[in-house]
């Protein structure tokens, strides 16, 4: 049977993506493994830490790899602890890789890696005013998410769980609420552990999923990447298809209405 046509591209800042799976590169055991995983994921947008990535002479850079694979780069400010550091990193990345897109991460501390919301809001305000397209990594708080949209973010990226924990979506209610309230794309970012977590994010109404660790540190990264490719698509279709309501009691799947007349002629 023919597949349902995938006619609902993700549109971000006027750019269309047929894949709703955004990947990160951190934690990959090698660039060959990463390349195989990126291809298996079918991703069209990948984020790279501008502070952590080193260009090694004589070796293909991550930027060259993404360009060769036709994957758009989303630079990120991972490792920044203050608005000032994040703004500086974003400005340097705009010069270095010639894009005004930035995934804005401002981390409160190195143990939790949770977003520092006051610093995030302040950096967002300044970067938006400077013409950046800000993809803001935030917590699962609907109030903070709304503030980020109001400040002019291009996309808002609430976490499912802390980065690298693989715990999945700790507060599905808040994620669903954020996805239903915001008008900019909502990308579930961080904490994903396995394919069903990504499917759930999409079922809850997120526009896309961003993940790194669940693929890069999987036993078989390319296999896991392919699983995520299908899960994101399945979750999106389920969201569009409209789930049935949850009922407290059994409800016969076949209706009895009209049955007597049919049996009695």
Q: Which of 103, 147, 233, 239 is catalytic?
A: 103
- Beta carbon nearer to ligand DXP, 80 or 179: 80
The answer to whether residue 66 forms part of the interface with ligand DXP (CB under 6 A) is: no
The answer to whether residue 231 forms part of the interface with ligand DXP (CB under 6 A) is: no
103 is catalytic: yes
Contact predicate 52/43, CB 8 Å: no
Smallest distance, ligand DXP to C-beta of residue 12, A: 16
Pick one of 63, 164, 177, 181: the residue that binds ligand DXP (CB under 6 A): 164
Give the span between the Cα atoms of 188 and 218, in whole angstroms.
Answer: 19
- Which residues 6-35 are close enough to bind ligand DXP by CB under 6 A? 24, 26
Contact predicate 140/115, CB 8 Å: no
The answer to whether residue 78 forms part of the interface with ligand DXP (CB under 6 A) is: yes
The answer to whether residue 46 forms part of the interface with ligand DXP (CB under 6 A) is: no
Q: Which stretch binds ligand DXP (CB under 6 A): 1-9, 184-192, 200-208, 251-259?
A: 184-192
Smallest distance, ligand DXP to C-beta of residue 4, A: 28
Smallest distance, ligand DXP to C-beta of residue 221, A: 13
Q: Residue 214's Cα: distance from chain center in Å?
A: 12
Strand partners, 22: 210
Complete edge-to-edge strand list for the sheet that includes strand 155-158 = 155-158, 133-138, 101-104, 72-76, 45-49, 21-24, 208-211, 187-189
As to burial, measured by CB atoms within 10 angstroms (0-12 exposed, 13-18 middle, 19+ buried), residue 53 is middle
Backbone angles phi, psi at 12, to 5 degrees: -125, 120
The answer to whether residue 227 forms part of the interface with ligand DXP (CB under 6 A) is: no
Structure tokens belonging to residue 148 = 């980020």
> Contact positions toward ligand DXP, by CB under 6 A?
24, 26, 47, 76, 78, 163-164, 189-192, 211-214
């Amino acid at each position: 049977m023919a597949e349902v046509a995938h006619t609902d591209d993700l549109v971000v800042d006027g750019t269309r993506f047929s894949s709703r799976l955004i990947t990160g590169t951190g934690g990959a055991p090698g660039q060959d493994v990463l390349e195989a995983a990126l291809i298996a994921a079918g991703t069209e947008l990948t984020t790279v830490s501008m502070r952590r990535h080193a260009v090694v002479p004589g070796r293909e850079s991550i930027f060259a790899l993404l360009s060769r694979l036709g994957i758009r780069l989303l630079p990120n400010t991972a490792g920044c602890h203050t608005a000032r550091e994040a703004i500086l990193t974003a400005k340097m990345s705009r010069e270095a890789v010639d894009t005004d897109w930035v995934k804005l991460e401002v981390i409160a501390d190195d143990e939790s890696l949770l977003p520092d919301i006051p610093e995030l809001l302040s950096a967002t305000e300044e970067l938006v005013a400077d013409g950046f397209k800000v993809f803001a990594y935030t917590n699962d708080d609907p109030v903070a998410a709304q503030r980020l949209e109001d400040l002019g973010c291009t996309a808002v990226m609430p976490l499912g769980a802390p980065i690298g924990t693989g715990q999945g979506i700790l507060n599905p209610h808040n994620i669903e609420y954020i996805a239903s309230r915001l008008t900019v794309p909502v990308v579930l970012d961080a904490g994903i552990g396995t394919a069903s977590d990504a499917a759930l994010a999409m079922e809850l109404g997120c526009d896309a999923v961003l993940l790194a660790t669940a693929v890069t540190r999987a036993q078989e990264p390319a296999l896991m990447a392919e699983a995520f490719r299908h899960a994101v698509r399945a979750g999106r279709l389920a969201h569009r298809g409209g789930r049935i309501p949850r009922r407290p009691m059994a409800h016969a799947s076949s209706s009895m209405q009209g049955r007597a007349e049919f049996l009695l002629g």
